[in-house]
A and B are shown apart, each in its own frame.
Chain A
């Protein structure tokens, strides 16, 4: 069965501290992995995807196929990073069938 777990519902860190949002997946085949972000009162938007191997807003994510994880990291959190983050496996066509439960990141001043 396809499943995504994000163990932390809420993660609070202080500004400037490192942050890691965990994501583990159980998915058939070799999925593409995505992170989506939803800022307050805004729509869901793509943050980054594994295949692009890019850093967006200072965030990076490493795919560990052995551990089936795709944790999102940022070395120095900013207050504007406060948002809801969803991990989502998908395919190469940008199609996401399953979303994780989400982690609310709160960056404190």
Chain B
């Protein structure tokens, strides 16, 4: 089956630093990837849609200058949390859409990255 990886799985950083999270589709190409955020005991919240070769589309209320997304290749999207603060601490999950010529597309999720900002 399709596999999506995320790196790192967890990261602890100091307030004010920037953190980059990678999302890779390992065995398929993904023109579209998604970034979600999940607070403890809450559901996933879509942050942005990452489009290969073009700018990401951010959901309302998500600061694009705070959460920089780069989708430079068909297998890699990165999310950079700039000048991180404790309130940015969360579980970040990416997904990649596997497009089908026949049938419907399917999202495959990464395992998530736990970010803790001290």
A contacts, CB < 8 Å to B: 32, 43-46, 49, 51-52, 86, 92-102
Q: In the complex the two chains form, is A100's CB within 8 Å of B43's CB?
A: yes
Name B's A-contacting residues (CB within 8 A). Answer: 4, 32, 34, 36, 42-46, 49, 59, 93, 95, 97-99, 104-112
How many pairs, one residue from A and one from B, have CB atoms within 8 Å of each other in the complex? 53
Q: Quick one: which of B43, B99, B106, B111 contacts A46, CB cutoff 8 A?
A: B106
A46 to B97, CA, bound (A): 12
Question: Sorted from nearest, which 9 A-B pairs have the closest CB atoms?
Answer: A94-B105, A44-B109, A99-B44, A99-B43, A43-B111, A101-B43, A93-B105, A94-B106, A43-B109
Known: A43-B112, A44-B44, A100-B43. A92 touches B104 (CB 8 A): yes
Partner of A102, one of B43, B106, B107: B43
A44–B106 CA distance with the chains assembled, in angstroms = 12
Q: Judging by beta carbons under 8 Å apart, are B107 and A46 in contact?
A: yes
Q: Once bound together, how far apart are the Cα atoms of A101 and B43, in whole Å?
A: 5
Contact call A51/B93, Cβ cutoff below 8 A: no
Give B72 Cβ to nearest chain A Cβ, in Å: 21
B104 touches A52 (CB 8 A): yes
* Cβ contacts under 8 Å, B108 to chain A: 45
A38 vs chain B, min Cβ distance (A): 9
Chain B min CB distance to A35 (Å): 13
